[in-house]
Amino acid sequence: MNPSEVFEIIEKHTKMMDESIPLIASENLTSLAVRRCYVSDLGHRYAEGKVGERFYEGCKYVDEIEELAVELTKKIFEAEHANVQPISGVVANIAAFFALTDVGDTIMSISVPCGGHISHDTVSAAGLRGLKVVHYPFDNEAVNIDVDETARLAREIRPKLFVLGSSLILFRQPVEEIREIANEIGAHVMYDASHVLGLIAGRAFQNPLKEGAEVMTGSTHKTFFGPQRAIIACRKELSERVDRAVFPGVVSNHHLNTLAGYVIAATEMIEFGREYAKQVVRNAKRLAEELYNLGYKVLGEKAGFTETHQVAVDVREHGGGEEVAKKLEKVGIILNKNLLPWDPIDKSANPSGIRIGVQEITRLGMKEDEMKRLAELIDMAVREKKSFEAIREEVKEFRKDFRVIKYSFKESEAYRFPELK
Ligand SMILES: *Cc1c(COP(=O)(O)O)cnc(C)c1O
């Protein structure tokens, strides 16, 4: 084993991505400016504590960067307070649970089949905190929380915290309504905006902080332009509890190289976010309509299929999510199988659905016309209208014109792997 072998593997991976259509809803690309930060000296350093109150010396310039990150985050989300230290969405959620709950408390969250994230459940972060989890009653057809049933159940079980936000998220969630119930029973409301952070920043989706959530957590790399990390934005009165939960609670080093990358991503969001977010939602709607017209069971039909970057399709009649996702991978269309609201959570089960995210291909410059072609390519593979090899070639051809990262100050090649050997 020598270092060049690792680089060879990375090159193969990069080429694979370059020739595929990336539709994983939780992923995105970063501009070259953001990537330059990753390889800087910042990635070797520690800056425990807060800006101006560090435990180690040598943090003068890190403080400048973190201060910028905090101020930009507050500005983008119109937040009273922001903590930019969580190194991922799950870490942010663990911190939020520590800040808002005590061991043994009951919380309400969305179940995984209904779109909730594992960290909102007992198998993950919520369980680690020793919380009891009760799931919201859910309207499968509307693909959203059933507010009336939730109010009834919440009055009975009196949760300490309502967790909103999901991983399969097609529509705005009833934040204002849940806030009212929370006020009645004296509970907190937090919104996990991991998936929709970039749409909120681009003013194309509900801003939960303005609708009554006291805390918003979120990964910065799904619809947002940033590196893989996370933020917590909250009301002023919770700032100390949140900050203490993050450090010393759940981070020691907080990845200062990607923190600098986040600052750049945030400035890109301020400059280009609105245009991008609008196009993301347009693309998702268009792709959903095209698939529907080709005879697919696209979720959320009555509400216009989607208000986010995501499209969910029930593919049971095509062999289920497992088979369809594997088939699409063969032709270079990369997405994931996904549980749908009626599915059991049993790991061995073949999920009913697939989840499609258009945020990354939007950042590569695709618009509505490309969504029509994409729907045709998906259909060709799912219904096996041609050989997989033939479709694979069409995918590569289609992909060729979309290899530059848009919505950034200087357009950069998405798949250039810098020569480091
Ligand atoms: C992706 C996701 C997370 C986890 O984020 P990481 O940055 O991968 O830790 C948390 N919550 C929701 C709703 C998510 O979709």
Does some domain include residue 418?
Answer: no
In this prediction, residue 417 carries a pLDDT of: 75
Ligand 1 atom with the shortest distance to the CA of 93 = 10
Q: Do 192 and 79 belong together in one domain?
A: yes
Strands 230-234 and 132-135, by their bridges, are unpaired
Q: Is 167 in the pocket of ligand 1 (CB under 6 A)?
A: yes
CA 253 from chain center: how many Å? 23
CATH number of the domain encompassing residue 279: 3.90.1150.10
Kindly give the distance from the C-alpha atom of residue 167 to the centroid of ligand 1, in angstroms, as a whole number. Answer: 7
| Burial per residue of 68-81, b for 16 or more beta-carbon CB atoms within 10 angstroms, e otherwise | bbbebbbebbebeb
Do 72 and 219 lie in a common domain?
Answer: yes
Beta carbon of 227 within 6 Å of any ligand 1 atom: no
Final residue of a structural domain among 266, 283, 300? 266
In the predicted model, residues of the chain with pLDDT beneath 50 are 421
For ligand 1, atom 10, name the residue with the nearest CA: 89
Domain membership of residue 2 (yes or no) is no
Instruction: Answer yes or no: is the C-beta of 90 below 6 A from any ligand 1 atom.
Output: yes
Which pLDDT value is given to residue 420?
A: 56
Regarding the beta carbon of 89 and ligand 1, being less than 6 Å apart is answered: yes
Residues 25, 37 share a domain: no
**Containing structural domain, residue 258:** 33-266
- Cα 402 → chain centroid: 22
Residue 414 burial (CB count, 10 A): 21
* Distance, CA of 363 to CA of 221 (rounded, Å): 12
Residue 58 sits in the same domain as residue 118: yes
Relative to the CA of 120, which ligand 1 atom is closest? 11
Nearest-atom index, ligand 1, CA of 91? 9
Tell me: do 164 and 220 sit in the same domain.
Answer: yes
Residues 293 and 229 in one domain: no
Q: Is residue 420 part of a domain?
A: no
pTM of the predicted protein model: 0.97
Confirm or reject: Cβ of 28 under 6 Å from ligand 1. no
419 part of a folded domain: no
Does one domain contain both 219 and 323?
A: no
Residue 394 Cα to ligand 1 middle (Å): 33
The half-sphere exposure of 239 on its side-chain side, counting CA atoms within 13 A, is 12
> Measuring from atom 8 of ligand 1, which residue has the nearest CA?
89
Q: What is the per-residue pLDDT for 235?
A: 98
Residue 178 belongs to some domain of the structure: yes
> How far does the centroid of ligand 1 lie from the alpha carbon of residue 397, in Å?
33
Question: Does one domain contain both 262 and 243?
Answer: yes
Q: Which pLDDT score is estimated for 320?
A: 97
- 4 within some domain: no
Between the CA of 1 and the centroid of ligand 1 the distance, in Å, is: 34
Same domain, 132 and 177: yes
* Structural domain ending residue among the three candidates 221, 246, 266: 266
- Pocket probe mutation, ligand 1, options 90, 120, 199, max atoms within 8 Å of Cβ: 90
On whether residue 377 sits in a domain, the answer given is yes
| Rounded distance from Cα 166 to ligand 1 centre (Å) | 9
Indicate whether residue 121 lines ligand 1 (CB < 6 A).
no
> How close is the Cα of 69 to the center of ligand 1, in Å?
20
Strands 132-135 and 106-109 come out as parallel
The answer to whether residues 88 and 174 belong to one domain is yes
Number of C-beta neighbours around residue 21 at 10 A? 24
pLDDT reported for residue 3? 87
Render pLDDT for 88-98 as a digit per residue (tens, 0 to 9).
999 999 999 99
Q: Residues 196, 305: one domain?
A: no
114 CA from centroid of ligand 1 (Å): 15
pLDDT on residue 346? 78
Same domain, 48 and 129: yes
Q: 117 alpha carbon to ligand 1 midpoint, in Å?
A: 7
Ligand 1 site, residue 355, Cβ cutoff 6 A:
no
At 12, list the tokens: 């193969």
* DSSP letters spanning 257-294: HHHHHHHHHHHHHHHHHHHHHHHHHHHHHHHHHHHHHT
CATH assignment of the domain containing 38: 3.40.640.10
Q: What are residue 298's phi and psi, to 5 degrees?
A: -85, 135
Q: Kindly list the distances between the CA atom of residue 385 and the CA atoms of 287, 326, 378, in Å, as whole numbers in the listed order.
A: 19, 16, 10
How far does residue 90's CA lie from ligand 1's centre (Å)? 6
**φ/ψ (deg, to 5) at 258:** -75, -20
In a domain, 421, yes or no: no
With a 6 Å cutoff on the Cβ, whether 144 touches ligand 1 is no
Domain count, the chain: 2
Tokens coding 172: 């705005």
> Where is the domain boundary, 247, 266, 285?
266
Residue nearest to atom 3 of ligand 1 (CA): 89
Placement of tokens 């119930």 in the chain: 181
For residue 121, what are the contacts with CB-CB under 8 A and spacing of at least 6?
Answer: 109, 111, 112, 127, 133
